[in-house]
Amino acid sequence: MSEFGKEDGRLQRVAQIIQLNPKDEAAYIRYHEQVWPTVLATIAACNISNYSIFLRNGLLFAYFEYSGSDLTADMEKMAACVETQRWWSIMDPMQSTMPDALPGEKWSNMREVFHFDSLPA
């Protein structure tokens, strides 16, 4: 088991939060209107889909679905991408960890407490 939960090949839903520095809101939104194609390709290559980031009152909420079998290894693969590292070097200074962040944690993982899939037709 990783920090993200079970790694048995089933779809995993991941939610995370981080604070956005108020002075950087416009730039953060502008960058995310045109995410670099290499960064998007790396996200897909790491078995991540349905990835969204929401913003409210300086709080960023990210959600994605992971369909691989080893999320920790895929996150390491993502972190090894030079273009993703460059993207993060621009995004990281715009963000502040949550007051209750764990040591070494950037985006704080959230625990899923409810999920509903639609009923079969």
Predicted pLDDT at 5: 44
Predicted pLDDT at 119: 79
- HEC letters along the chain: CECCECCCCCCEEEEEEEEECHHHHHHHHHHHHCCCHHHHHHHHHCCEEEEEEEEECCEEEEEEEECCCCHHHHHHHHHCCHHHHHHHHHHHHHEECCCCCCCCCCCEECCCCCCCCCCCC
pTM of the model: 0.86
Angle subtended by helix axes 71-79 and 82-91, to nearest 10 = 80
Domains along the chain with CATH numbers: 16-66+84-100 (3.30.70.100)
> Tens place of pLDDT for every residue, the chain, 121 residues?
344 444 455 799 999 999 999 999 999 999 999 999 999 999 999 999 999 999 999 999 999 999 999 999 999 999 999 999 999 999 999 999 999 999 999 999 999 999 998 877 7
Predicted pLDDT at 118: 83
Residue 108: closest CA among 116, 120, 99: 99
Predicted pLDDT at 117: 85
Predicted pLDDT at 8: 52
Q: Which two tokens stand for residue 105?
A: 């944690």
